Structure 1
Amino acid sequence: MLMINEKTQLVASVGFMCSLCAVGLSTHILMDQPTVNGSVIDGAMQSIYEASFVDANPLNNVSISVMGAIKYAAFKQAEQGAIVGNDGWLFTSEEFEVGAKFQENISQSATEIARVKATLEQKGIKLIPVIIPDKADVYPENLRTARPSEIKTRRDDLLSQLATRNVVTLDAFKALASNDVGGRAFIKDDTHWSPDGSRAVAEMIASHLTNLDITLTPATVTTTQGPTIDFDGDLLQFVPTGALRPTFGPEQNQIDTYTTTVETAGGLFGDANVDVALVGTSFSAKTEWNFPGFLQDALGADVLNFASEGKGPFAPMHAFLASDTFQNTPPKIVVWEIPARYTSKEMNQ
C-alpha cells in the first residue's frame, strides 16, 4: 500500500479540495435549479437540491473514492461507523460507544439472561450463555484510538453480574486470544470472528459440555474445507476507497471456506429430535464463519440454528422461546451466543 508523508498528505488534500470546489461550482451553475416556494420553509427544497446536485456532479463517485482514500491513507480515518487501527485493522465504532444508560443496560441484560435461564430450566433445558468479547478486547495492540474505561471493563462487569445471578457463563475471550488462533480470531476488516475464531469457540463449548451429565444423540459429522476466497468485510463500507483501493488500501483479505454435513440415526437431516439449539447473532447466522458446523463437529451431534442477523442476541432468543420447537420438542441444551457490546445497549437495539 502507498505510504504518504505529512507534507504530501497536506498538498494532496488541499489540491483535491480545490478541485472539488471547482467541480462543485461548475455543477451548481449547470444544473437545473429547483423552484423557490414554500418548500424552503420545511426543508424539502434542500433535499431536492442535494439530489439534483448529486445527479449532475460528474465526479460524484470519483470524489467519494478519492476522499475515502485520503482519509484512510493520509489521516487513518474512516467514515462514521468504523475506527481505523494499525496494519489494516478496522473496528466497529460500537466497541467505543458509551451511552447514557450504559451500566443500567448491562444490569438489565444480566437480569434478562437470568430470566431466560429460569424459563429454560422449567422445561429441563440447560442454558449455556457464551459471551463474545469485543474485537478490540482481543487485539488491543492493533488500536490507534483509546477506549473509554467503561468499555474496557464491560465484559468483566457483565460476567460479574451474571455470576451474582447464579448464571454459569462461558467467556470466549481465552479461546479467541489463545496462541493456537494467534492473530486470526477476527477478520481484519469485519466486525465478526473468522472461521478460525468460530471453530476455537465451538471447541471450547464442547470441552465444557464434557463436564456436564448430559448425553447427546450421536451423529456422523463431516466438515470439509473448501477453497480460500477473497472476502470483503462489513467494515469496508466505512472506507469507500473504490477503484483506488489497490493503491491506498485497505488490502484485500481472504478467508477459508468450510462445509459441514450431519447424518443422524434418522438419516441425513433426519426427523429425530435435536438435542442442541443455537441462538445468537450474525456470529452464528452467517454461513461464512461456519459456527453451527464447527459446533456440530466438536459435539459430534446435530444442532438446530435459531440465530438471526441484524437483531442482536435478545430478539432471536425471544423468537426461540415462542417457537414450536421450544414448546413441543425442546432440546436438552441451548447455546446462546451473546456479543458483549450488545449488553450495554437497549435490548431492542
Structure 2
Amino acid sequence: MHRILLTFLVAAIVLSDGAVAGTPSSEAVEAAAPPALKATQAPKYNAKPCCTLCPHAADPQTYAGSKFMSDFRVLVDGRHGWLFRTGLDLTTQFNVPDESLVQMHRLSDALRQRGTQIVMVYQPPRGLMDPDELTPQERRSYNLESARNNYASTLQRMRTEAGVIVPPFDRLVDEHKGYDYYFRRDHHWTAAGAKHTAEAVADTMRKLPGFSTIPHKQFVTHTNGVIGKPGTLQKVAEQLCGGAYSMQYEPIYVTDPVGGDSLLGTTSQPDVVLVGTSNSDTLGGYNFAGYLEQSLGVDILNVSITGGSFEGSLLHYLASKEYQQHPPKFIIWETPYQDYPDSEQSAYKVYRQAVPLVNNGCKGKAAILSRTVNLRQGNNELLFNGGGAIRPLVGRNYQLEFQFSDPGVKDLAAEVWYFSGMKESLKLHFKQYVDNGGRFIAELRSDRPDYAAATVMGVTMLLDQAPTKPLSVTAQLCERGSSSQLTAQTR
C-alpha cells in the first residue's frame, strides 16, 4: 500500500500511480508566491510511495466472516497503484448454470410476446480488461487467453441457449488498448469503459430489426466536473493494512440532446430502456446511459438502481406502469459478471418472479383463490384449496401474488403446501433501494417434475413476532398467463 510519510501544509497533487506528492519544485512555488515571499527559499518536498500491501492482506483467512469481505479475497498489488482481487478479478471461469440460461430463455420469450428484446451487457472481470496493470508475477500466473476464450464462450451460450442479444464484448479485451476500463482500486468501470461498451452495444443494435423505426436524434457529450473515487478495493486495503491511498480523480461526463430537445414535458416513453446496477445509475457518474444515447442516437429510459444487484431494477421496472402500459422495443440489461447468480436455485428465484411480472402478475386475471388476512404472531393461513371441493391447481399452471398493506415490506416468507405431502419455503427479498411497494409475485415451483405436477393445498405465513403496527396481506392464486390474456386496463 502506498503510504505518505510526510504531513504537508501545501496543496497536494494526485499522481497517476495513486501516491500523493507535495510541491513539485521550489521554482513552481516561487513563481506563484507573492513578492514578499520570493526572497526566502521555498522548501522542497520529496514524497514517494513507500510500501506494498501488508502481509495480513495475503492471508485468505483475513477475509472470512462476511460475504462482503469474502468478495475481496485475496487482494494483491498491481502496477501503478492498482489493486486486484485474485478470486473475482483474476478468474478464468464464468459460472453460468445451464438451467439459468433455460430460465433466461423463458423470460426472453415472454418479453418477445410483448414486443421487447433483451440486449445483455455481461461485464467482464477487471483482470481480463486491464491486464497491463498486473505485476509481472501476477501476469505470469493469470491465464489471460483462457479467460478471454471462456468469456467469449459464455457470451455465445447466452446468445444460443438463452435467446438474448449479446454484443461481442470479448473484442474489447486488449492488453494494450490505451485506456483504463476499470478504476485502479474500485470494481466499477470508468467513463472510458462505459463509453467503449456503449459503442459495442450500438454497433450490434443498429443492425437489429425494428431499431430503425425508433425516433432518432443527435446527442452530444461534455464534461461536467470531476469525480473523486476512493474505491472499494482501496477501502478494504486500508481496513486491513492501515495507511491511506489518495483519491483517483476522473472527469464527469454528461450527455444532452443537441438543441436541448428532451422528453421533459412529453407523454411518450422511450423504446429503449436500460436496467442495471450502479455502473449504469446516473448517481455513479460513469455516463453509460448517456453514451448509449449518443452512440445509438435514441432516447434511453434509465431505470438502473445502485445496490439493486442483478435483478433489482429489472423486477422494479417490469412491475411499473411505464413497462406495463408501454413495453419498449429493447431492454438493455447491464450486470457485472460476478452479480450473475452462480447457482440454479438463485437464478430460478429471479426468473420465477420476472416471467410473471412481464404480464403484471395476477392483475387483470381472475383469482382462483384470494383472501385478505390481518397478520398476527404465529401461523397465519392465507389460502386453502378445499371447502368441500379440491381444485386441480397443479403447480406448473399457477402463480402467487402477495400485496402487503405496508408498501415498505421487502421480505416475504411463506409456506406452500401440496397434497402430495411436499412443502416449499417461499422466501423472496428485495434489495434496500428497490421499491417493490410491498408487492411480491412468484410462479408456483415447477423447476422439478414432482413440484410441477403437484396439486397445491394451501399457503401459510408464520410470524415469529407480532407486527409493530397493524399489517395485512392480500394473497391471490391465479393462472399463469400470456400477454394475450391481459385486459385493456392493464395494458
For the superposition of Structure 1 and Structure 2, which TM-score range results when normalised by the shorter chain? 0.5 to 0.7
- Tell me: CA distance 1:306–1:2, structure 2 relative to 1, closer, same or farther (3 Å): closer
CA–CA distance in 1 between the matches of 2:325 and 2:288?
26
- 2:280 aligned partner, one-letter code: S
Aligned to 2:110: 119
Q: CA deviation at 1:216?
A: 1.8
Instruction: From 230, 233, 243, give the equivalent of 1:232.
Output: 230
Is contact 2:53-2:77 (8 Å) kept?
A: no
Counterpart of 2:83, as a letter, is: L
Change in CA separation of 1:264 and 1:228 when aligned onto 2, cut-off 3 Å? closer
Conserved 8 A contact 1:130-1:338: yes
Task: Report the 3-state secondary structure (helix = DSSP H, G, I; strand = E; otherwise coil) of the residue aligned with 1:136.
Answer: helix
CA distance in 2, matches of 1:210, 1:230: 34
**Inter-partner Cα distance in structure 1 for 2:317 and 2:278:** 16
Residue by residue over 1:221-268, the C-alpha shift from the partner in whole angstroms, topping out at 9 and shown as x without a partner, is: 3322123443211222211179832xxxx4432211112234786754
Letter in 2 for 1:196: A
Q: Which residue of 2 aligns with 1:89?
A: 82
Structure with more contact order per residue of length (Cα contacts < 8 Å, sep ≥ 6) = 1
Q: Structure 1 residues 298, 326: closer, same or farther in 2, change over 3 A?
A: same
Look up the equivalent residue of 2:249 and give its one-letter code: Q
Structure 1 residues 267 and 118: CA distance shift in structure 2, 3 A = closer
More strand by proportion, 1 or 2?
A: 2
Shift of 1:307: 1.5
Q: Where do 1:78-227 residues align within 5 Å? A: 80=63, 81-82=71-72, 83-87=75-79, 88-92=81-85, 93-95=87-89, 103=95, 105-143=96-134, 146=141, 152=147, 155-165=151-161, 166-175=163-172, 177=174, 182-213=178-209, 214=211, 215-227=213-225
Contact 1:232 1:253 in 2 (8 A): yes
SS of residue in 1 equivalent to 2:88:
helix
Identity of aligned residues (%): 23
For normalisation by structure 2, the TM-score amounts to 0.49
Larger radius of gyration: 2
Q: Where in structure 2 are there 5+ consecutive unaligned residues?
A: 5-49, 64-70, 351-430, 432-491
1:18 is matched with none
1:298 is aligned, of 282, 295, 300, to 295
CA contact (8 A) 1:177 1:185 kept: no
SS in 2 for 1:282: coil
String of CA shifts for 1:78-106, please: whole Å, max 9, x gaps: 9634322312222344346899xx85x53
Question: CA 1:109/1:147 → structure 2, altered by over 3 Å: closer, same or farther?
Answer: farther
* Superposed displacement of residue 270, structure 1: 3.0
Measure how far apart 1:120 and its partner are. 1.3
Q: CA RMSD in A?
A: 3.6
Find the aligned partners of 2:206 and 2:76 in 1 and give their Cα distance: 40
Q: How far has the Cα of 1:188 moved from its partner?
A: 0.6
Secondary structure of residue in 2 paired with 1:283: coil
Q: CA deviation at 1:129?
A: 1.1
1:138, distance to aligned residue in structure 2 (A): 1.5
Decide which structure has greater helix share: 1
Mapped partners of 1:266, 1:222: distance in 2: 13
> Is 1:278–2:289 an aligned residue pair?
no
Q: Secondary structure at the match of 1:226?
A: strand
Query: What's the counterpart of residue 244 of structure 1?
Result: 243
Aligned residues: 276
Aligned to 1:17: none
Deviations 1:263-292 (A, max 9, x none): 786754632221110011221124321111
- Distance, in Å, in 1 between the alignment partners of 2:100 and 2:174 is 25
Moved more, 304-313 or 292-301: 304-313
